[in-house]
Amino acid sequence: MNRIPIGIRLNLKFDMEFETVIGLEVHVHLKTKTKAFCGCSTEFGNEPNTQTCPVCLGLPGSLPVLNEKALEYAVKVALALDCSAQEFIKFDRKNYFYPDLPKNYQISQYDMPIGLNGFLEIDLDKERKKIRIKRVHLEEDAGKLIHKQDGAYSLVDYNRCGIALLEIVSEPNINSPQEAFEYLKNLKLIIQYLEVSDCDMEKGSLRCDANISLRPKGEKGLGVKTELKNMNSFKGVRLALEYEVKRQKDLLSNGKKIIQDTRLWDENKQLTFSMRTKEEAHDYRYFPDPDLAPFTLSKEFITRIKDDIPELPQQKIENYVKDGDLTRKEAGEIASDKNLSLIYEQCIDIYREPKKMYNWLTGPVLAYVNDRKKSIADLNLEPKELAKLIQYVSNGKLNNTAAKDALFSMLDEVKDIDTIIKEKGLTQVSNEGELEEFIERVLKENSQSVQDFLSGKENAIMFLVGQTMKLSKGKANPKKVKEIILRRLRDVS
């Protein structure tokens, strides 16, 4: 056994292993037509302060009335995240002063929120993990502040103010930046499946803050945490967390202490920095909002919402693997978009070839989406037509090239596949007589390649097949062509 120098031993002692503890707070805008407590539009991107009224401006004397859709959407998310259904919910006021908050209190929920104690599953390398969800509650969003870089003032736009906001708070049982990333991806996917939010981080319809601390492995208590803000993408969240893990580890390994603070992620410099505000003790003085009567959610209401929840991605993945011979990863790709999964399911109902369907959807179909910069939802894709197309490939009516061509035309021109084939004359030519004519010409015009083949260069055959395909404008059945050419050349020799 080697002797370890004493200095290194000491170092090892400090180089203990840490466990990362992360909790995420996610805010999503609910996709209601109007705001949470008034009838103003929630449309994004209009002139400042043009979507406001006495209620969302918090003018003296105005009163809130809850948007029933916001409540339904919120309950839907809570149930989809396996929260226990709450019978009694109420709204509370969270009191703090900020110029984007016109009443200087936010209508939120304190001790009787929409949902409690849910969970969400994520896929890790070797296992799946349940991330526990502490609470889901409904509140109103604040307005937007524009800080003048040069000037000594700020500007306020209240258009966003009052939009229904759902806050989803995880328990601190996320243990790595990657887990956080997976959690966010799955959460977003579930909410998108429910069609209650766009979850568009760029438009601010999804925002995420993170709490992170480290503790020596095996320890139960929590370490001092920092709060991270200002991440503009899920990748940004992961990077910020990775940065913070390293920063905290370095500090702790050197025997230093973590200071509890709020840190902002700087996307350009790829680091977090302290906001350095004089942290005031938060004393939000929550109390029940006297302007809003409480809500009792009946069993019938809960059942109705539950029945309205579509099959969620995790379940779809299970089904695809079980019934469709797809790997978990492949199933995940299909399930990663609700519309894609719907097309997939309808196609295999018509033509039960899951693998082929998977290949076509993740291949040519997504290629088309990317090429045309569209979303799957915007595609004019009839599952019936796609299924037919793939069937044609299988039974030899179309070759692959022609099929891809047909798919693009079908989507561009919004016509059924048979019309496209007819118009473009894409049917594969397998008729030997027709093919002979093409081949005759090709062999004549490419005598050098014929010689090459005959003298043993077997690859030359592919060139000849290619030329025949070209001449047939892609319609020839390549397998047949190769067969005939081989036969002819053998005859020659």
Q: Which residues would be at the binding site for another protein (CB under 8 A)?
A: 32-34, 38-41, 47-54, 57-71, 90, 93, 95, 97-99, 102-105, 145-148, 151-158, 280-281, 283, 285-288, 290-296
Residue with tokens 């349940």: 130
Minimum CB distance to another protein, residue 10 (Å): 43
Structure tokens at 486: 């081989």
**Residues sharing a CB contact under 8 Å with residue 346, sequence separation 6 or more, in sequence order:** 383, 384, 387
Minimum CB distance to another protein, residue 35 (Å): 9
Nearest residue (CB) to another protein, 20 versus 67: 67
Structure tokens at 459: 């690859």
Minimum CB distance to another protein, residue 165 (Å): 15
**Residues sharing a CB contact under 8 Å with residue 284, sequence separation 6 or more, in sequence order:** 94, 95, 96
Q: Residue 204: left if φ>0, alpha if ψ -120 to 50, beta else—which one?
A: left
Nearest residue (CB) to another protein, 283 versus 491: 283
Minimum CB distance to another protein, residue 472 (Å): 58
Of all helices (H) and strands (E), which one includes residue 455?
none
Alpha-carbon torsion angle 226, 230, 234, 240, nearest 10: -40
Q: Computed from CA positions of residues 399, 402, 404, 410, in that sequence, does the dihedral angle turn out positive or negative? A: negative
Nearest residue (CB) to another protein, 1 versus 281: 281
Give the separation between CA 44 and CA 203, rounded to whole angstroms: 8
For residue 396, the Cα-to-chain-centroid distance in whole angstroms is 37
* Residue 429 DSSP SS3: strand
Nearest residue (CB) to another protein, 67 versus 197: 67
Minimum CB distance to another protein, residue 172 (Å): 22
Nearest residue (CB) to another protein, 61 versus 221: 61
Give the separation between CA 317 and CA 43, rounded to whole angstroms: 34
Report whether 321 contacts 331 (CB < 8 A). yes
Nearest residue (CB) to another protein, 47 versus 307: 47
Minimum CB distance to another protein, residue 372 (Å): 33
Tally of CA atoms within 13 A in the half-sphere of 376 that contains its CB: 18
Tally of CA atoms within 13 A in the half-sphere of 201 that contains its CB: 15
Nearest residue (CB) to another protein, 105 versus 344: 105
Nearest residue (CB) to another protein, 113 versus 474: 113
Minimum CB distance to another protein, residue 178 (Å): 33
Other C-beta atoms closer than 10 Å to the C-beta of 165 total 24
Nearest residue (CB) to another protein, 43 versus 436: 43
Structure tokens at 423: 């118009």
